[in-house]
Amino acid sequence: MSTHASKTLETFPNPHPARDYHIHMEIPEFTCLCPKTGQPDFATLILDYIADQACVELKSLKLYMWSFRAEGHFHEDVTNRILDDLVLATAPRFMRLTAKFYVRGGIFTNVVAEHRQPGWQPAPRVELGQFAGNSNTRG
């Protein structure tokens, strides 16, 4: 695999396709250029997804993210484009991309884009709490 920026996203087979499990990735060094000024825009991207048959391979994801460094994109466009490319590569049950752009002109911009496989519904969230009562008393 190359160490140069690339638009190619590689995948590998989901090792547990029968289970919905949450994959969470944080990409704190995303950069692209402002299409109006040419100045760099910096963001932390947060990728959350539930894979179906394929998972994204991390090195190819890193090289894919690098490929935007010299390109001009509006925040809304680049967030949706990345989500579209990831969905095309992995066909997940669910995917959410949150792009948290750093301040530009006194404004922070957060863009959240989501994809759901038709018909997929998440399992109800399970909240685990503490035992109701004093754990120091025994009866």
Mean pLDDT, the chain, integer: 92
**Confidence grade of residue 104 (pLDDT, cut at 50, 70, 90):** confident
Catalytic: which of 20, 32, 41, 52? Answer: 41
Give me the domains of the chain, ranges plus CATH numbers: 19-116 (3.30.1130.10)
Q: 32 catalytic, yes or no?
A: no
- Whether pTM > 0.85 for this model: the answer is yes
Dihedral over Cα of 130, 133, 137, 139: its sign: negative
Q: Could you report the per-residue pLDDT of 39-95, keeping only the tens digit for each?
A: 999 999 999 999 999 999 999 999 999 999 999 999 999 999 999 999 999 999 999
- Is the per-residue pLDDT at 137 higher than 60? no
Q: 41 catalytic, yes or no?
A: yes
Catalytic: which of 20, 34, 52, 85? Answer: 34
Give the pLDDT of residue 66: 97
Give the pLDDT of residue 77: 97
Give the pLDDT of residue 135: 55
Cα 72 to Cα 20, 36, 104, 105, 116, distances in angstroms: 36, 8, 15, 17, 28
